[in-house]
Amino acid sequence: MPLLHFHVIKGRKPEALRALLDTTHETMLEAFKVPARDRYQIVSEHERDHMVIEDTGLGIPRTDQVVLLQMTSRPRSKEQITTFYKLLAERLHKRCGLAPSDLVVSIVQNADEHWSFGLGRAQFVTGEL
Q: Which residues have a catalytic role annotated?
A: 2
DSSP for residue 37: T
- Contact present, 64 and 48 (Cβ < 8 Å): yes
Sign of the four-CA dihedral 97, 99, 100, 103: negative
First to last CA, the chain: 10
Would strands 67-73 and 103-109 be described as parallel, antiparallel, or unpaired? parallel
What angle, rounded to 10 degrees, do the helices at 78-96 and 14-32 form? 150
Query: Which SS3 state, helix, strand or coil, does residue 83 take?
Result: helix
Would strands 3-9 and 40-46 be described as parallel, antiparallel, or unpaired? parallel
